[in-house]
Amino acid sequence: MKRMISLCIALFILISPLPVVSQTASAAPSAPYVVNYSNSNNLTQSNDSTVVPGSTGVASQKFVVSGGGWNGAFYTDWGAHDVSAYNTLDFWVKGAAGGEALSMNVSDGTNSYTANIQTPSDASWKHVSIDLSVMTGVDFTKWMTITFSCNTSTLNTTFYLNNVQFSYIDPYTGPQITVVPWNGAQSAVSLTFDDGVDSQLDYAVPALNAKGMKATFFITETAITGSRKEDWKKLPLAGHEIGNHSKHHYEPSANPTQPYQRTYNDTLGYDETVAAQTEIAQAMGTTVVTYAYPYTNNDPYLVKYLIDTHLSARGGWGNGTYFMKPSDTPDWMNISSQFTWGEGSFNTDYKSWVDHAISQGAWTVITAHDVGGGATSLPLDQMNALINYLDTKRSSIWIAPYGAVSGYWRAQKTIENLTPNATSTGTRYTWNVPAYFPNNINLKVKLKNGDGYQVVQNGQVIQPDAGGNYTISFGAKSLELKRKPYAVNYSNSNNLTASTDATVVPGNTGVASQKFVYAGSGWNGAFYTNDWAAHDVSAYNTLDFWVKGGAGGVTLSMYVSDGTNGYSVNIPTPSDASWKHVSIPLATMTGVNFTKWKTITFTSVTNPATFYMNNVQFSRT
């Protein structure tokens, strides 16, 4: 593909040499840098008045596949331009029928970046926005071309483009999260099995279970009414996914000539999608959220009922590639898959599929039908070779059911499209979760600009793993990045016997309590300070801690100082000797300069007395 694009570029330059004009964009430009359409290959182009949401008034370009071979629409003036002041490439795209697969190539004349773009299934306009930082290798100080190719290369396939431009989106500089692709792995592979045939239970399931691998089995009415229904019901209990492969496995056809063909309408479309989903879920005792098109045919009457009831649907060619990268823009109702066959070879076919997914950092879906025999089968020796090879590549591949990977990817896209909301404590994210999403989707995320912040979800602080990844629940619908409390350590004391105590406080962070005993001789004090030096804690708004006293309660005096000025207040402990959480706004501590805070001192007013302290900290609430 890249070679063809380079040859086309060279040809056009030879035929119509244009001067190289270098345009340097200023820092943080306010106006977008519009990229104009130039010419095309094997596409019939015309202007179109179709209006896009938020249209700038620029006419759309309509492209119709008009010839065999490679096609491409070139957006460029063929000169080198400096667009490095921008941080985003965005445009609007739609297909005439819906679900058209495009490929976009951005080039500086030497290096390029390619992404797959799927048009919406309902033929509506779609806004695509791609951060330039993901286009590794392209030198945007010398950018030259953007080329759109239609991978759905059937003659008369039609697509539209509008408002192709580089723009600058003011980056959010507060703490934020980024989703780690493929659950932290380099790539992903999903094994799927269609039709619910017995050989899958006899051969595929035992081989998968022996390696601890989980797969997806797309079944029809035959499996839930047949003699092996109970065997199919065991699969979800073992961690495998049951998917919807329709009720009757009809092939859509405008002019049916075979018993397995039907012309779809609303009634049949609903029956083969939503009704089938309900029946399979009830019969199998599990949630069914994914679909596989019979004969890979994504008939519009099927898509119509899938789009609001299923997480994703597996097709064949899908978005124009069998290797889907995290940055691609998929059509969730037409995800690609590649099929095994009787004459297929692990050494020459299936191994390369796995290796290519790893090298591309991509997800690939592999589909088989009957195992061990038949023209469309996956021979046992080839199946075992594939499973064994996947087992050796676990360090590079997330091997998971189709629904698990598509759910993760779709949730990732949702998070990536959110606008972080700055709050007084940090950043808050909120999102919607469609009713048909499973409730067990967890994402691995990393913190960006997050030094001094912690991830909080449902009121609980999430701890990172050894790789710095935080596992969040997508079903929680929100999370917060809160400034970490600034812990104040116990230093030493005067006229107090101090010891570490294992007494647990509500909401304990794991920090041991300090026990203090006052015997009633002279002034006493427990000093909490971080090395007796001045520290700037003005970013916080609260001082809080836990305290409890002996039987009958104890009265303490707390003194907060910046070394020059101080604030004093009495703290009574509960009479039942229970723990008490004390929270004091810094704004009430008039006179203390919290850009130079130094010490917190606790003194027992009660004589004699025993008291306990825990989790002394500055926080932001």
Question: Peptide bond preceding 608: is omega within 30 degrees of 0, i.e. cis?
Answer: yes
Length of the chain: 621
Q: What single DSSP character describes residue 120?
A: -
| CA–CA distance, 566 with 553 (Å, rounded to integer) | 26
Give Cα 152 to chain centroid, integer Å: 27
Name which of 505, 128, 211, 261 is nearest 386 in CA terms: 211
> Roughly what angle, to the nearest 10 degrees, separates helices 380-392 and 351-360?
30
pLDDT of residue 366: 97
| CA–CA distance, 74 with 105 (Å, rounded to integer) | 10
Are 114 and 104 spatial neighbours (Cβ–Cβ below 8 Å)?
yes
Name which of 598, 606, 607 is nearest 559 in CA terms: 598
| CA–CA distance, 176 with 421 (Å, rounded to integer) | 9
| CA–CA distance, 517 with 510 (Å, rounded to integer) | 22
| CA–CA distance, 400 with 487 (Å, rounded to integer) | 41
Are 72 and 8 spatial neighbours (Cβ–Cβ below 8 Å)?
yes
| CA–CA distance, 250 with 253 (Å, rounded to integer) | 9
**Collapsing DSSP states into helix, strand and coil, what is residue 565?**
coil
pLDDT of residue 321: 86
| CA–CA distance, 593 with 534 (Å, rounded to integer) | 10
Name which of 454, 445, 455, 450 is nearest 479 in CA terms: 455
Strands 513-518 and 555-561: unpaired
pLDDT of residue 228: 96
| CA–CA distance, 323 with 190 (Å, rounded to integer) | 12
Element at 41 (helix H, strand E): strand 37-41
What does the pLDDT look like over 540-571, one tens digit per residue?
999 999 999 988 899 999 999 999 999 999 99
CA distances from 499 to 328, 503, 513, 517 (A): 58, 12, 9, 9
User: 36 is written with which tokens?
Assistant: 């104009």
Q: Which CATH architecture has domain 187-406?
A: Alpha-Beta Barrel (3.20)
Name which of 313, 324, 340, 330 is nearest 243 in CA terms: 313
**Fold match between domain 2-171 and domain 187-406:** no
What does the pLDDT look like over 256-284, one tens digit per residue?
999 999 999 999 999 999 999 999 999 99
Domain extents for the chain?
2-171, 187-406, 408-483, 487-619
Instruction: Please write down the long-range contacts of 352-355, taking CB distance under 8 Å and 24 or more positions apart.
Output: 353/322, 354/189, 354/386, 354/389, 354/390, 354/393, 354/397
| CA–CA distance, 446 with 449 (Å, rounded to integer) | 10
Residues 6+ apart with CB under 8 A from 435: none
CATH number of 2-171: 2.60.120.430
Q: Provide the β-strand partners of residue 516.
A: 498, 611
The pTM score is 0.78
Q: Provide the β-strand partners of residue 245.
A: none
pLDDT of residue 510: 67
Q: Which fold has domain 487-619?
A: Jelly Rolls (2.60.120)
pLDDT of residue 219: 98
| CA–CA distance, 598 with 473 (Å, rounded to integer) | 39
| CA–CA distance, 41 with 22 (Å, rounded to integer) | 26
Element at 57 (helix H, strand E): none
Mean pLDDT, rounded, of the chain: 91
**Collapsing DSSP states into helix, strand and coil, what is residue 244?**
strand
Residues 6+ apart with CB under 8 A from 348: none
| CA–CA distance, 241 with 403 (Å, rounded to integer) | 7
pLDDT-flagged residues of the chain (< 70)? 1-28, 54-57, 153, 319, 374-375, 507-510
Are 337 and 330 spatial neighbours (Cβ–Cβ below 8 Å)?
no
| CA–CA distance, 558 with 244 (Å, rounded to integer) | 65
Q: Provide the β-strand partners of residue 546.
A: 581, 614
What does the pLDDT look like over 24-44, one tens digit per residue?
334 567 789 999 999 999 999
Instruction: Please name the residue that has the structure tokens 């599990």.
Output: 286
Instruction: Please name the residue that has the structure tokens 């919607």.
Output: 432
Are 129 and 173 spatial neighbours (Cβ–Cβ below 8 Å)?
no
Element at 232 (helix H, strand E): helix 229-237
**Collapsing DSSP states into helix, strand and coil, what is residue 409?**
helix
